[in-house]
Each structure stands twice: as C-alpha cells, then as structure tokens.
Amino acid sequence: MLRQVAEGVLVHESAFVQSNAVVVRGGDGVLLIDPGVTGAELDCLADDLRELGPPVAAGFSTHPDWDHLLWHARLGEAPRYGTARCAATVRDQLADPDAKDQIAAHLLETEIAGQVPLDLLGLVTGLPAGTAQIPWDGPHVRMIEHQAHAPGHAALVIEERGVLVAGDMLSDVLVPMLDLNGTADPIEDYLTALRLLEGVAGDVEVVVPGHGSVGGSGQAQARIDQDRAYVLALRDGQVPADPRIGPAAKPGWEWVRDVHEGQLRRLAR
C-alpha cells in the first residue's frame, strides 16, 4: 500500500528486506523509483497507481542491483532511467545469457523463491554523463551520483518536496555495504559519497533508504553520522559500536552481522 511521506511523494514498502519503492507525482504522470519486489507486490503497486490516477511517466533505478531493476507490464512502457554507469553495468550483467537464471537460483534460498518477475529486469536507459536531473514533467529531481555501494549509484533529491531518496544507503537496519569488487578504494568512495549526501542533508525533511524505515526531520544527518562512524571503524580496524550489528539489532535482521563480518574479512585481505 502506498503511504504519503511528503507532499506528492509516496512510498510502497515491500515485505522483503523492507525494500522501498518511491512514487513522485508530476504534471501528467508519476516518477517511479526502484519498484519491487515480488509479482504480487508489483501488482499491488500497479493497483495503487491506478487508483491514484496518473500513469507512470518515467522510472528510475538508483543502482544496478537486481532488486532495484524490476518492473511489471502493468506499470506501462515509460522510459526507465539510471546513470550512464549504472546502465552500462546492467548491460554487462545481462550480456550473460544465464544472468536471470543465476538470480532466480540465488532467490531459491529466500522466502520469495519463484515470486520475482525477471522478464523486464534491467531495461534501463543511461542518462548522459553529467546529467544533473531526471528528464520528466514533474518536480525537479536532482541526481547525486557516486561510487559508494555499486557502480553508478545515485541518490535523488526531490528539492521542492524536501525528500532525499538514498538508494542503498542511510538505512536504519543495514550497515553500509561497500563495493568490494569494482573499486580500488571502497572506503574512500563511501566516505566521499557520505560527504556528498551531507551537502543536501540540511535541505531535506525526509530520507527514504532503499531498505528500512523512512526517516523524518534530522534523520538524514543522523544516519550519515552513523554510517560514517561504521566506515571509519572498518578503515581503522576497530569494532564498530553500531546497533545494526549488535544485540539491539532489529529482530529478523541478525544476518546483517554476517554481512559485516564478510566485509571485515574481505578488507583484511
């Protein structure tokens, strides 16, 4: 079900790892960011949008992870955008004829096995390098591209609505997940991205992470501070004092500690 988080901005939360799809109302349609995750949820999202009225005018994928590249036929044939680097990464991934089968096989280990529609996965058009905003007839949506979590990752600032859509950053349940495969200095890349987000934190009242709870006033800066402390602890070889991986971790999210320990091992190598 869609929930309004700011004027003209609504969020649909998936049951799977609290994935957030974001809807921004525009002049003649809506901008749909990172829709997901199961077929039933995408169908529900399509129903909600039909009741809302305007069609989907454009889509956007914040980065090239499979759960941010989904679509449903009922959402229409609007252009789906990403950064140029995101789209290039997706093309490389899907050049492997077994790519979708590999995703489906990975999902066999989860509670949503067989429920994720992959036929329209990743049909993303890259916006030219240096593009500052999403081309659509609606509120100004500024892109902040960086290389923290994945190649061509972009946060979005809906300036007229005071909303920061953070992609897979600034989560209250997930620790920062570094790109440990495609970058020479994943720590510094992440710190650079946090500085970029800090530059807009004072201008927003709402932060929407890719996974987790929507944050209100002051939460953008608070989550930046928490993520920075975690990354600096990794850099300095210290144990992060982070509730997301400690005894106070949200029930059902204890596996985040495994993510953290995996990152420690990779960085140690």
Q: What digits encode the pLDDT tens for the residues 59-114?
A: 999 999 999 999 999 999 999 999 999 999 999 999 999 999 999 999 999 999 99
| 150 & 261 share domain | yes
Q: How many helices and strands in the chain, by DSSP H and E?
A: 6, 11
Count of C-beta atoms within a 10 Å radius of residue 40: 13
The rounded percent of the chain whose pLDDT value lies above 70 is: 100
For tokens 């209100």, name the residue.
216
The verdict on 239 and 179 lying in the same domain is: yes
Indicate if 110 and 230 belong to the same structural domain. no
123 and 180 part of one domain: no
Bridge-based pairing state of the strands 141-146 and 125-127: unpaired
Does 135 fall in a domain?
no
Distances (CA, A) of 22 to 81, 86, 182, 214, 249: 14, 19, 27, 11, 25
Q: Among the three residues 130, 156, 189, which one is the final residue of a domain in this structure?
A: 130
Most confident of 112-116, 235-239, 261-265: 112-116
Clarify whether residues 66 and 151 are in a common domain.
Answer: no
- Residues of 65-101 as b/e, b for ≥16 C-beta within 10 angstroms? bbbbbbbbeebeebebbbbbbbbbbbeebbeeeebbe
Mean pLDDT rounded to a whole number for the chain: 96
Q: State the average pLDDT over residues 48-62.
A: 96
Domain shared by 158 and 86, yes or no: no
Count of domains forming the chain = 2
Regarding whether 52 and 119 lie in a shared domain, the answer is yes
The answer to pTM > 0.75 is yes
Is 248 contained in some domain? Answer: yes
Domain that holds residue 71: 1-130
Q: What is the b/e burial string over 212-235, where b = at least 16 CB atoms within 10 angstroms of the residue's CB?
A: bbbbeeebbbebbebbbebbeebe
Whether 167 is in a domain gets the answer yes
174 belongs to a structural domain: yes
Q: How confident is the model at residue 167 (pLDDT cuts 50, 70, 90)?
A: very high
Q: Are residues 146 and 257 in the same domain?
A: yes
Instruction: Report the amino acid identity of residue 6.
Output: A
CA atoms within 13 A on the CB side of 164: 30
Would residue 113 count as lying in a domain? yes
One domain, residues 94 and 188: no
Beta carbons of 147 and 36 less than 8 angstroms apart: no
Specify if 56 maps to a domain: yes
| Cα dist from 9 to 63, 153, 163, 208, 268, whole Å | 20, 21, 8, 10, 42
Domain-located, residue 8: yes
Nearest-angstrom CA–CA distance, 29 and 65: 26
Are residue 122 and residue 150 in the same domain, yes or no?
no
Domain boundary among 130, 163, 198: 130
Last residue of a domain, one of 130, 153, 178: 130
What CATH code is carried by the domain that includes residue 242? 3.60.15.10
Pair 108, 203 in one domain: no
Check whether residue 250 and residue 269 sit in a common domain.
yes
Look at residue 136 and tell me if it is in a domain. Answer: no
